[in-house]
Amino acid sequence: MPALSSRITDLNEGGSDGWEVFYRARAMVAAGEKVTELTIGEHDIGTDEAILDAMYTSAKGGHTGYAMVPGVDALRDVVAERVTKRTGVATTRDNILITPGGQAALFAAHMAVCNPGDTALFIDPYYATYPASIRAASAEAHAIQTRADADFRPSRAAVEEAARLPRARSLLINSPNNPTGTVYPRQTLEMLAGVCTQNDLWLISDEVYDTQIWQGEHLSPRALPGMAERTLVIGSMSKSHAMTGSRIGWIVAPPSAIDALIDLATTTTYGVPGFIQDAALFALSQGAQVENAVADPYRRRRDLALSILADQQIVTAIPAQGAMYLMLDIRATGLSGRDFAEKLLDARRIAVMPGESFGRSAAGHLRVALTVDDARLAQALRELCAFAATIAKAA
Ligand code: PMP
């Protein structure tokens, strides 16, 4: 066959996409083995019945044809209202593009602001799809390293150095952060906004975990002075409303950027199914109660996990301030996150993500998704700690 494009074959730079442990665990489950899966950010609950009823009613009511490419007006209005209320920045439907999930929004955002060959910056550790999403837009992906002992927040020096790279065009940030659970304080966001302004960069702010805050508060950098004109916010209902499979999210951006993004959507997704948009509209109109019901178990499990980890010294938890994961430092075992995760899966049938899947800064760490019931999570964490102790002792 003729050659595929290097754009697509080099998405992962010929290396792995970082999901091996997840795929192996899934294969084990498919083969009938019992594995405790603490890998991807998939809820252990389904989408709320009432939201599904709204989806069904909409589909039965005839919303099964092509929907408006930018999103239906009513949904764009509700998202705009929500953003205005949560950030204080006046936002209208012209600032909103409805997308099939945050992932499509991440790709579209980079397509919108990067020319081929431009450099797109992001903070390491990062959500595993970031580098390939950037490369898919024919831009160069450049990771800015952080340190575990600085709570994985980027330093001004590191961000400024990256911002001065030739053709640096955008900076992608994610607070609350996947995988670390770090929530950036105002000071960090002001520093990042300052560097973007001084170096004329776009800021792409991935806020898909903005309803999952355990400590501190969520601040959208679009609300900082002068930032609305250079910020694209990525939103999603996957995490906030347990709607991962519905594929629904949005981009908040200046109207001229939204206009351009609508042209892109016309050639890629051609919009989001109308019945999904109607379900999203219904869900967003239910107020915070639905979101809290989705978020509360993660808060509870985070506290439970921290109390279990406090009983030993080998595995150290990074106390997540938000999101549905916990990062564990397993460097005391002498193993890499990858080796530990592979061995843990084989020996104990517990699947966690190696820190390395999320970048160099997370080496020697594991990401545990808090996505099983409390008793099973507690049991898995106790086993993980016992396993770590065995390895540390043997070393
Ligand atoms: N950003 C982050 C940080 C994520 O963790 C995820 C999903 N795990 C996404 C974006 C994409 O989510 P979705 O496409 O389901 O909206």
Supply the pLDDT for residue 91: 98
Looking at the predicted structure, is the pLDDT value of residue 198 above 80?
yes
Residue-wise pLDDT for 334-392, tens only, equals 999 999 999 999 999 999 999 999 999 999 999 999 999 999 999 999 999 999 999 99
Q: Does 101 sit in the ligand 1 pocket, CB within 6 Å?
A: yes
> What is the CA 336 to chain-centroid distance, rounded?
23
Say if ligand 1 is within 6 A of residue 130 CB.
no
At residue 90, the pLDDT reads 97
The Å distance, Cα 102 to ligand 1 centre, comes to 5
Which pLDDT score, from 0 to 100, does residue 205 have?
A: 98
pLDDT at 13 over 90: no
Please give the distance of CA 382 from its chain centroid, rounded to a whole number.
Answer: 27
How many CB atoms sit inside 10 A of residue 213's CB? 17
- pLDDT tens readout for residues 122-154: 999 999 999 999 999 999 999 999 999 999 999
Query: Which residues are CB-contacts of 201 (< 8 A; sequence separation ≥ 6)?
Result: 121, 163, 168, 169, 170, 171, 195, 230
pLDDT digits (tens, 9 = 90+) for 306-343: 999 999 999 999 999 999 999 999 999 999 999 999 99
Band of pLDDT at residue 14, cut at 50, 70 and 90: confident
Q: What is the pLDDT of residue 394?
A: 85
268 and 242 Cβ atoms separated by less than 8 Å: no
Give the pTM. Answer: 0.97
174 lines ligand 1 (CB under 6 A): yes
- For ligand 1, whether the C-beta of 364 sits within 6 Å is no
Q: How many helices (H) and strands (E) does the chain have?
A: 13, 12
- Which residue's alpha carbon is at the smallest distance from atom 8 of ligand 1? 41
Render 143-195 in DSSP notation, one character per residue.
EEP--GGGTTPPPHHHHHHHHTSTTEEEEEEESS-TTT-----HHHHHHHHHH
Interatomic CA distance for residues 89 and 233, integer angstroms: 12
Report the atom number in ligand 1 closest to the C-alpha of 206: 1
Instruction: Give the position, in ligand 1's atom list, of the atom nearest the Cα of 40.
Output: 8
